[in-house]
Structure 1
Amino acid sequence: MTLLKMAILMALVLPALPAQASDPDWLTVNPDNTLVIDTDKGRLIIELHPEVAPKAVERIKLLARRGTYDGLLFHRVIPGFVAQTGDPGNVDGGKTELPNLKPEFRFRLKADVPHTVVARPGGLDVGFMGALPYVSVDEKRMGANPDQAVHAWGSYCNNTMGMGRDDTPLDSANAEIFFMLAPTQRLDRDYTPVGQVIIGGDVLQKLAPGEPPAKPDSMLNLQIMADMKTPPQVLVMNTKSAAFKALTDRVRAEKGADFSICDVTVPARVMP
């Protein structure tokens, strides 16, 4: 889909900016699990998902609150792939004194965990948990399992945030984080997904490229929204709403057999 077509599509299916956060088509983000990153190129707002990766999200929140990430560079930016940052020392493999984390590549999805199924390719479900795209085993199998759950995993679409690690071993994640600049689902079940950039996708695309960049951009300041004195009020579209169904229906109709969960972006807005 071209950028022009997407702009026309969004204009057709999105309602006007709601006057208040109580609009049923929109939900207010949870400030306890929303990360705000101010960079040289602008602000990123990320919806974190502890239900997917509790230990990794806990680590990111801890490092943000103690200032470890402030001033670190985007030391590896590959257009059409990924932007990496968060390594103490600004080099691949930089770590804190904290112990490495075990992989959280998959999680168990239960029926009572909020999620929205968008498509059901053979034997799988694909959809969204908030704004984060995910894939799961067909949830019809939940009842056959002792814990009433199925295996699921976050999917690395555009703007998905993950926890970096060394090539080996798998339990080597520590502080590094990365952001997808394009869909790269080959990373699914190989890196721990922690959240989704809901505001600032355009900022990511403006980061100076290079391995390392000649003049790298930096993360100036990271805050958990709940800790901010004057936090922005951010709304994300309710994936259970008629507006979101209209969006996904239109995208599926245009893409046809080539439809992927990465073709859909859950809209978000900052209230004035």
Structure 2
Amino acid sequence: MIRLFAALAVLMLSVAAQAQPLPAGLDPQNTILLDTKDGRIVIKLRPDLAPQHAERIKLLAREKFYDNVPFHRVIEGFMAQTGDGQRGNGTGGSKYPDLPAEFSNVPYKRGIVGMARAGDPNSANSQFFIMFAENPGLNGKYTVVGEVVRGMDVVDKVKKGSPADNGRVTNPDKIVRMQVAADAK
């Protein structure tokens, strides 16, 4: 019974979020709609900064790769990481090859969406993170792929992980659905 109510709540949030128009000036082809149990996050992709990374995010969203994927690493005051559609624990990518870095001068501040990677700067693939706060230590070292333009209040509600375990989340919140705005129904 509880699962039924939870499913209905997610459905109602999704319907309410779909009824909201996009913020003015956004290109639906480069806008991502990320739905969670707490609401919708609208992300403006930046193909002007990172064309290959923006295309990868759109490709995977269209393949429903991100649907039901957990926010596996969430550090209070830093960032919420997701996008591991293979393993769900931060150790996987996608069936596509890693991407070369597309670094820019855009600073890492609240709402910026960056591509997660391993130690090799050219190892970003499918995982991304959303910044809770400014962190200049990331500037020029991680690819900026977009920015949250609506829904930071939703990002703030994502379940936080254990500081003692580098933000790993037990029973994490998930992306319910992620889609390109141009494809939204």
Shorter-chain TM-score range: 0.7 to 0.9
Corresponding position of 1:75: 72
| Larger Rg computed on CA atoms | 1
Match of 1:157 among 98, 109, 132: 109
- 1:90 deviates by 1.1
- Alignment partner of 1:51 is 2:7: no
Deviations 1:29-59 (A, max 9, x none): 1111110000122110001110000000000
Q: How does 1:5-24 map to 2 (within 5 A)?
A: none
* Secondary structure in structure 2 of the residue aligned to 1:104: coil
Q: Deviations over 1:176-208 (max 9, x none)?
A: 010001111210100000111011101111111
Task: Give 1:171 shift.
Answer: 0.7
2:148 to 185, 194, 197: 197
- Looking at structure 1, the residues matched to 137 and 93 of structure 2 have their Cα atoms a distance apart, in angstroms, of 25
TM-score (normalised: structure 2): 0.82
Paired residues for 1:85-234 under 5 Å = 85-87=82-84, 88-106=86-104, 153-166=105-118, 168-210=119-161, 211-229=167-185
- CA distances 1:130-175 after superposition (whole Å, capped 9, x unpaired): xxxxxxxxxxxxxxxxxxxxxxx22111010011100x21111011
**Equivalent residue pairs, number:** 158
Q: Distance in 1 between matches of 2:56 and 2:125?
A: 8
Q: Structure 2 regions of 5+ residues with no counterpart?
A: 1-20, 162-166
CA deviation string 1:98-157 (max 9, x = no partner): 110000013xxxxxxxxxxxxxxxxxxxxxxxxxxxxxxxxxxxxxxxxxxxxxx22111
Displacement of 1:215 in angstroms is 2.5
What does residue 64 of structure 1 align with? 61
CA RMSD of aligned residues (A): 1.4
Q: Distance in 2 between matches of 1:199 and 1:43?
A: 8
Q: What displacement does 1:96 show? A: 1.1
Distance 1:79 1:96 in 2: 27
Normalized against structure 1, the TM-score is what? 0.56
Does the 8 A contact of 1:41 with 1:217 survive in 2? no
Matched with 1:16 is none
Identity %: 42
| Offset at residue 27 of structure 1 (A) | 3.7
**Of the candidates 27, 39, 57, which is equivalent to residue 30 of structure 1?**
27
Match of 1:84 in 2: 81
